[in-house]
Structure 1
Amino acid sequence: MTTKDDHIYIDQILNGDANAFAILVDRYKNLVFTLALKMLKNREEAEEASQDTFIKVFKSLHSFKGESKFSTYIYRVAYNTCLDSIKKTKKHQNDMPIDKFTEHQVQTIDNALNTLTEMEYQKSIKDCIALLPEMDGFLLTLYYFEDLSLIEIATVVNLDPNTVKVKLHRSRKKLLTIFKVRLEPEMIAYYEGQRR
């Protein structure tokens, strides 16, 4: 999946080949659905938001200037579509309390998330992320699972990169509170098994 390929299909669509859009939908449908599910926390709403996202992308494709990656453009449309859905249904989750964490503890969570692909706990960690408020889960998913840079995430959520950095830091702290309750015993058992 390359940016160059995306632009080839975009040109074909803009020249009247609607079938080329099916290729882009197929390429990004899982990513869009995953992000929508992180924000909306409801499968049906996420499916609807995903469909709405692709309809909006198709209708506004002529305005895509190629200044960012096409995936970033799609994430931004998906993000805004989910925000609209949240406003419509007035779904607001209570913020989770953040305990005082040391920098070392925050670095530990960072290391754990960065090594997800090497561990068997990916599903458990995704389940923990699903317990976070919409925005926190969305940001962590973009950063750790979609490998977007701070600048790309800032483009998606229309915030300054430094603001995104602060929000990611807070999101990791919130995730650590969930980890401590749900995963810590599992992780301890895993590491003790590794030392034997």
Structure 2
Amino acid sequence: MEHQNDLFYIEKVLAGDAQSFGILVQRYQNMVFALSLKMLKHREEAEEVAQDTFVKAYKSIAKFKGDSKFSTWMYRIAYNTCLDRIKGNVKFNNNVEINDVTSNELEAVEHIFEGIERKERSEIIQGCMNQLPDEERVIVHLFYFEEQSLKEIEEITQLTASNIKVKLHRARKKLFSIFKNSVEHEIYSHYEQRAKG
């Protein structure tokens, strides 16, 4: 029965079948938790925000008009709930200095990443991503890891497409600076040589 589309369960919830919301929770709990963890970087906080997100979604499900995908609507609630938590807690604030980065250096990073084993690459990327400011980290996550379109990211974040593009570009530059500074110099040199060779 769980193969029905989201609208089927939304209509059942609106008709008074609260249990159908549980299927929607199962469908989207990993997605909501991943986004919350990406924004907050603290597992317990992310779990609380994920719970808050589903409570808010349940209470306001009648407002879902079907103009966007239900997943996009859920992302927007999770995103805004995280922002509220961040605003109230200074420990989430990050600031990374952008050093000037050339397009050749950006290309070099991509070659270097190709030479690193998948598991190691994932750990390095995760560590670097965690140092980005919250909004940029989430936009990078949505665009590159969740493969959301610019239009979907617009709906989730309420930012304009041009603003999102600027933030993505800035985030890539910051990631490069973080990568150079946080990964041991020898590892960087080793992979840079392998990429060239």
TM-score if structure 2 supplies the norm length? Answer: 0.84
> Residue type matched to 2:148 in 1?
L
CA distance in 1, matches of 2:195, 2:100: 30
Q: Which runs of structure 2 are paired with 1:42-61 in the superposition (5 Å)? A: 42-61=42-61
After the TM superposition, which parts of structure 1 deviate over 6 Å for at least 4 consecutive aligned residues?
110-114, 116-119, 191-196
CA distance in 1, matches of 2:6, 2:152: 17
**1:83-117 Cα deviation digits (max 9, x unpaired):** 11112224452421101112333455578889x99
Query: Does residue 1:84 correspond to 2:84, yes or no?
Result: yes
Percent identical residues = 45
- In structure 2, the CA distance between the partners of 1:117 and 1:55, relative to structure 1 (3 Å rule), is farther
CA contact (8 A) 1:109 1:172 kept: no
Equivalent residues, number: 193
Q: Which runs of structure 2 are paired with 1:167-182 in the superposition (5 Å)? A: 167-182=167-182
TM-score if structure 1 supplies the norm length? Answer: 0.84
- The answer for the alignment partner of 1:161 in structure 2 is 161
Cα deviation for residue 33 of structure 1 reads 1.2
CA contact (8 A) 1:154 1:164 kept: yes
- In structure 2, the CA distance between the partners of 1:94 and 1:191, relative to structure 1 (3 Å rule), is closer
CA distance in 1, matches of 2:8, 2:38: 30
Cα deviation for residue 128 of structure 1 reads 1.6
User: Counterpart of 1:121 in 2: which secondary structure?
Assistant: helix
Decide which moves more: 12-21 or 178-187.
Answer: 178-187
> Residue type matched to 1:88 in 2?
G
Structure 2: runs of 5+ lacking an equivalent: none
**1:112-148 Cα deviation digits (max 9, x unpaired):** 889x997751232122211212112111111111100
Cα deviation for residue 62 of structure 1 reads 0.6
Cα deviation for residue 48 of structure 1 reads 0.9
